[in-house]
């Protein structure tokens, strides 16, 4: 079996928030890597970004009732090397283990507070902007959260 060295992939995710007692709370998931981040996942062939967003949010959080803020769409680009189980799975499927990723984020509101995480995640938490910002594991996610928070406040 031939394994590619590099993969170019696209993910779509959501900065999910809800309002509770005049406060805005953001949902973060703890991934298998133990890093906190937003729910996101790979686009399937033929899916629109909105279809990927809705499917991934449902799979990772159990939440299907969302409203997408129409003017918010941001991208981040990053590179990583697959490790552990992900590396094994990628090699078995002939997919590259050096991944160049474009992640596109939408800002989505829900009224649902109950979250059902999937096997890919370890935990979840609803946090204020400040607490979510300090818990996020990377600068790109903190930047996306800040931009989403500004968009939410502008649209409130």
Q: Kindly list the domain boundaries of the chain, sorted by start residue.
A: 6-155
pLDDT in tens, 64-121: 999 999 989 999 998 889 888 888 988 898 888 999 999 999 999 999 999 999 888 8
How distant, in Å, are the alpha carbons of 7, 25, 124, 130 from that of 100?
6, 31, 26, 30
Q: Taking the model in full, what pTM does it have?
A: 0.89
pLDDT in tens, 45-74: 899 999 999 999 999 999 999 999 998 999
Beta bridge partners of 39: none
CATH code given to domain 6-155:
3.90.79.10
The secondary structure of the chain as a DSSP string is: ----SEEEEEEEEEEEEEEETTEEEEEEEEETTS-EE--EEEPPTT--HHHHHHHHHHHHHS----EEEEEEEEEEEEEEE--HHHHHHHHHTT--SEEEEEEEEEEEE-S-------TTEEEEEEE-HHHHHHH-SSHHHHHHHHHHHHHHHHH-
């Amino acid at each position: 079996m031939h394994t590619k060295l590099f993969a170019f992939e696209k993910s779509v995710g959501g900065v999910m928030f809800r309002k509770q007692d005049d406060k805005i709370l953001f949902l973060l998931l703890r991934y298998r890597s133990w890093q906190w981040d937003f729910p996101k996942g790979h686009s399937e062939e033929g899916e629109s970004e909105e279809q990927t967003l809705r499917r991934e949010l449902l799979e990772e959080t159990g939440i299907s009732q969302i409203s997408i803020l129409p003017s918010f769409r941001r991208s981040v680009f990053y590179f990583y090397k697959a490790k552990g189980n992900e590396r094994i799975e990628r090699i078995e499927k002939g997919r590259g283990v050096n991944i160049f990723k474009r992640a596109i984020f939408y800002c989505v509101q829900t009224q649902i507070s109950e979250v059902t995480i999937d096997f890919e995640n370890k935990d979840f938490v609803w946090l204020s902007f400040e607490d979510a910002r300090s818990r996020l594991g990377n600068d790109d996610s903190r930047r996306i959260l800040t931009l989403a928070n500004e968009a939410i406040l502008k649209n409130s």
